[in-house]
Structure formats: structure tokens, C-alpha cells
């Protein structure tokens, strides 16, 4: 498998939303409309659930073109087979009141959603995407990278934040856990 990982660019906006629109979300049908915008929108749960796929697709295009949305796409030849949402945490409106994040000094990168095509799962692609994101944050002079994986053994396909072992393999350290969601930090400086 000759996978190439590329940073999301404005020219890839349509490719990205097409990839998400055509993924099989039978394991979590309510994810189909997200277009990886959940963390980019600050609203109450009811307001989020009232949003449509078209609204989130349009917002994804806007956020990509404005540089608010960042991450990496994995390609197998011309076919997108994976995605990781990796960004400065301050670009995630939903997290703006997060006390832990607000208490950090310097620049903090955040790794959130992984979307790996079902045919490419369990082959190390999410690990490669995470490693690429860490390298990007290091090159850009960030002070640290944070991930918030969780273990959901009843539905492992729903672990869209990755799993703790992925982070641990790259040297991330678990700093705390709340309701099964762990916060892992990798200091870059």
C-alpha cells in the first residue's frame, strides 16, 4: 500500500467533502452530516442536531478556504482513504471554554477526528496520520500537541479520536481522564 499523506488545501475542499459524504457510517449514522465541523461550531446539542449535511458541508468549504480548518488527507493513488483533523486548538470554537486548554501557555496543536476508510482500517493508517500531524506541529513551532482518545470496547469503530496506544507510541503522556476520555500531551519544546 503506497499511501501518500497531504495537508488539506483549499483545492481539496470538494475532494474532502465528497470523501466524507461517501463514507459508510452505518456504525454511527448521525456522523454522516458532520463533515468534521462539530468542533468548529459552538452551539447547544439541540442546535447541532438540527444542522444538515448541506450546512456542514458549506461550512467545511468556508473553513477550509479561510484556513480555519486544517488536517491531513491520506491518498491511495487518487483515492482518499483517510483524514485527521489537526489544528491549533483555538480554531475549535467548541473548545473555547475548556479550562485546561485555556491554562496552557504558548501554541498548542490538537488532534481530533480520524476518518479512515473501512477498507484501510487496522493497517496503521491512523498512526501514520497522527505522526504526520505531530511532525507538522513540530515544524510549525508549536509547544505541544494534545489528543483526547477514549476506549469504547463495545463499538471500536466509533473511536474517532484514535486510541490511547497510538498516542503512547509517539511519546504522549496521559495527564488526566474524564468520563473515559483521556487527555494526552506531547511536549515539543
Q: Across the chain, what does the average pLDDT equal?
A: 91
Percentage of the residues of the chain whose pLDDT score is greater than 90: 74
How many whole angstroms separate alpha carbon 150 and alpha carbon 147? 10
Cell numbers at 1, concatenated: 500500500
Tens of pLDDT, residue by residue over 31-54, are 678 989 999 999 998 999 899 989
Which cell is 149 given? Answer: 482518545
Q: Give the pTM.
A: 0.92
Q: What CATH number is attached to the domain comprising 7?
A: 3.40.630.30
Distance between alpha carbon 76 and the CA centroid of its chain, in Å?
Answer: 19
Give me the pLDDT at residue 154, please: 62
Residues 102, 124: Cα–Cα separation, whole Å: 32
Compute, in degrees rounded to 10, the torsion defined by CA atoms 165, 86, 31, 47.
Answer: 130
For residue 73, the tally of other CB atoms under 10 A from its CB is 21
Check residue 98 and give its pLDDT: 96
The model's pLDDT over 122-181, given as tens digits with 9 standing for 90+, comes to 899 999 999 999 999 999 999 999 999 987 666 556 677 888 999 999 999 999 998 888
Number of domains making up the chain:
1
- Predicted pLDDT at 32: 74
The helix/strand/coil state of 94 is: helix
Domain residues for the domain of 37 are 3-187
What pLDDT, on the 0 to 100 scale, is given for residue 24? Answer: 75
Res. 29: pLDDT tops 70: no
The Cα–Cα gap between 64 and 52 comes to 18
- State the Rg of the chain over Cα: 16
Amino acid at each position: 500500500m503506497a499511501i501518500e499523506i497531504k495537508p488539506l488545501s483549499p483545492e481539496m475542499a470538494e475532494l474532502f467533502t465528497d470523501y466524507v459524504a461517501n463514507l459508510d457510517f452505518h456504525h454511527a449514522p448521525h456522523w454522516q452530516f458532520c463533515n468534521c465541523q462539530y468542533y468548529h461550531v459552538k452551539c447547544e446539542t439541540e442546535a447541532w442536531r438540527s444542522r444538515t449535511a448541506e450546512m456542514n458541508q458549506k461550512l467545511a468549504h468556508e473553513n477550509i478556504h479561510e484556513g480555519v480548518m486544517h488536517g491531513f488527507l491520506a491518498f491511495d493513488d487518487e483515492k482518499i482513504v483517510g483524514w485527521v483533523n489537526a489544528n491549533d486548538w483555538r480554531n475549535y470554537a467548541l473548545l473555547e471554554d475548556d479550562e485546561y486548554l485555556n491554562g496552557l501557555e504558548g501554541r498548542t496543536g490538537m488532534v481530533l477526528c480520524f476518518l479512515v476508510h473501512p477498507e484501510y482500517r487496522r493497517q496503521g493508517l491512523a498512526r501514520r496520520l497522527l505522526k504526520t500531524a505531530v511532525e507538522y506541529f513540530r515544524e510549525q513551532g508549536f509547544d505541544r500537541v494534545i489528543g483526547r482518545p477514549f476506549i469504547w470496547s463495545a463499538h471500536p469503530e466509533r473511536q474517532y479520536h484514535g486510541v490511547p496506544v497510538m498516542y503512547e507510541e509517539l511519546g504522549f503522556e496521559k495527564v488526566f481522564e474524564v468520563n473515559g476520555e483521556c487527555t494526552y500531551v506531547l511536549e515539543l519544546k
